[in-house]
Chains A and B, each alone.
Chain A
């Protein structure tokens, strides 16, 4: 089965206002694809739309994953298909511990239609072992497991927790929305190494970032630039380096040139 993520002519509106104006993009399994672009260009909108946020209304276009039109699926169904979104702004849920949340998420992934959830649930001992190992690999203190989900977490702690979830849930298509923002230099390395350990021939990764620094660690094969709701340039890793050096204005100018 073709397991690439294919986005075709995607138009998305929020509160009746069109934000994405025809995005085309393909992410092959086993590749890392970076998306860059100025603030407000629609990167997070794209990420939320892939994950299935109900407020993002797809007015036209398609998103195909594993041969399925995922626009018809609820967010939880997309997740069960292997799609994972590392949030730019992770959400706090007071009163729900990280451990309980992760266990509920893992059990949701393991659940099967028509089977008693108790039968498919991860055994407690196995869960604890996997959680401990994953936390250790991301240099997270064990006490994090008992804290409430993102509640009072620092910016960097939240991002680390996103990657902990990715590590535990083992998605086949990960969208990482500015996972580097808020991380200090050491944390950036630890988190990037964590992501790199997860890379495998089945995993497609879409990395949204503003900085080359992250791409020094997590090396993309493809780089696309978004502006005003469209992908306006695509290339190899050298495109990111060029953006780092020159900013976005030259692309804008070229676009204006193209148009006239």
Chain B
């Protein structure tokens, strides 16, 4: 990244929908996308900043955010032989030309671009992005890997991911967010929309390992069709601030989500996760187990919601969140909610714990000669085990374990 290239970019406050439309036309984007971006920008320009609870956004100034009108750090890893089975794994910009028919009916339908200022900004400004498409009955055995890396010196990035699984397709996807160098205040605002077709199954691991100054503010929605199965693992370790709105949307009858989360905050991090379990179809089932560890002066927030819509029947849902405080100055809040618009729920369960490392566990380990710091390390790693066990690549798991250990 050249420093002068960045200096020449207008910051957010100086952009207009005309400029954005002009950039999109210059990139030869189809006219509907040009309009889509411009409308999103107009919404952004007039919308008030969101009032997200327990989210420290004050230091994120739009004068410092200068978007680049080109992709800066999208990388994909896969076996090209899958192309012969009809699998598409390509940058979203390129796919706008090659697979416009797949993108147009999907983009913006799971994550509403006009929900608030940030969703609109993401829709208007995305450059990095990926389309991943798995045709009917195709099973992708090995995990595909997708990473978005904020370039050294860059101040903003708006990755947009669209994943489409047709009927009975199977996929394992690892999606990573990282940054190079030691970013000053920078914004990474990702959007991911996953459309999981009838009877299809997806393993989706999403991993946030941003550097210190990064504000990651994004939305991810997994929409599940009839009898579809989602296995979602969300791991968040990095950034100055995170505000991630996540939703498993059980649209089709018989769809299920099995979701585990792991968040670890240290130093001054403020990590907010807003996961929704939204039941629309009948006989849908959700299970979310969310683990948080905080240390130093970090502040972690679980702002979850179980929403059972009027048309859904026989829902089964279970939400568990547990937090461990390694230091007395660290904080975590858990504010789970339940909104039920139907009188036909099969089972809705909730469990929650929060506190220091369990003294009896610590003593049990010490009684075997294990020193308290090592015992805490083992207990924390064990606490995160449900999420770590879902990491499909051994090398990635090891690097994650090292990253977690470094924070303890």
B379 nearest in chain A by CB position:
A93
Given contacts A75-B366, A75-B367, 15 further A-B contacts (CB under 8 A): A52-B366, A74-B372, A76-B367, A76-B369, A80-B369, A87-B367, A93-B378, A93-B382, A96-B382, A100-B378, A104-B370, A104-B374, A105-B368, A108-B374, A169-B369
Residues B378 and A54 in contact, CB atoms below 8 Å apart: no
- Asked whether B381 is an interface residue with its Cβ less than 8 Å from the other chain, the reply is yes
Size class of the contact patch on chain A:
20 to 34
Minimum Cβ distance to chain A for residue B217 (Å): 30
A79 to B384, CA, bound (A): 27
Q: Which residues of A contact B367 (CB under 8 A)?
A: 51-52, 75-76, 78-79, 84-85, 87
Residues B366 and A101 in contact, CB atoms below 8 Å apart: no
Name which of B144-152, B302-310, B355-363, B390-398 contacts chain A.
B355-363
Q: Which residues of A contact B42 (CB under 8 A)?
A: none
User: How many A-B contacts if CB must be within 8 Å?
Assistant: 83
- Asked whether B69 is an interface residue with its Cβ less than 8 Å from the other chain, the reply is no
| Contacts A96-B379, A96-B381 given; does A91 touch B361 at CB 8 Å | yes
- Chosen A-B contacts, 11 in total, with CB atoms closer than 8 Å, are A75-B367, A76-B370, A91-B361, A93-B361, A93-B365, A95-B385, A104-B378, A108-B370, A108-B371, A149-B382, A169-B368
Interface residues of B (CB under 8 A from A): 358-361, 363-372, 374-375, 378-379, 381-386
- Asked whether A148 is an interface residue with its Cβ less than 8 Å from the other chain, the reply is yes
Q: Which residues of B contact A156 (CB under 8 A)?
A: none
Residues B369 and A105 in contact, CB atoms below 8 Å apart: yes
Minimum Cβ distance to chain A for residue B23 (Å): 48
- Asked whether A90 is an interface residue with its Cβ less than 8 Å from the other chain, the reply is yes
Residues A76 and B364 in contact, CB atoms below 8 Å apart: no
- Asked whether A44 is an interface residue with its Cβ less than 8 Å from the other chain, the reply is no
Q: Which of A157-207 contact B (CB under 8 A)?
A: 165, 169
A51 to B370, CA, bound (A): 13
Residues A75 and B363 in contact, CB atoms below 8 Å apart: yes
Q: Which residues of A contact B360 (CB under 8 A)?
A: 91
Residues A101 and B378 in contact, CB atoms below 8 Å apart: yes
A80 nearest in chain B by CB position:
B369
- Asked whether A41 is an interface residue with its Cβ less than 8 Å from the other chain, the reply is no
Minimum Cβ distance to chain B for residue A60 (Å): 23
A56 to B369, CA, bound (A): 19
Q: Which of A127-166 contact B (CB under 8 A)?
A: 148-149, 165
Q: Which of A109-137 contact B (CB under 8 A)?
A: 109
- Asked whether A235 is an interface residue with its Cβ less than 8 Å from the other chain, the reply is no
Q: Which residues of A contact B378 (CB under 8 A)?
A: 93, 96, 100-101, 104
Q: Which residues of B contact A51 (CB under 8 A)?
A: 363, 367
- Asked whether A53 is an interface residue with its Cβ less than 8 Å from the other chain, the reply is yes
- Asked whether A94 is an interface residue with its Cβ less than 8 Å from the other chain, the reply is yes
| Contacts A104-B378, A108-B374 given; does A93 touch B364 at CB 8 Å | yes
Residues A76 and B381 in contact, CB atoms below 8 Å apart: no
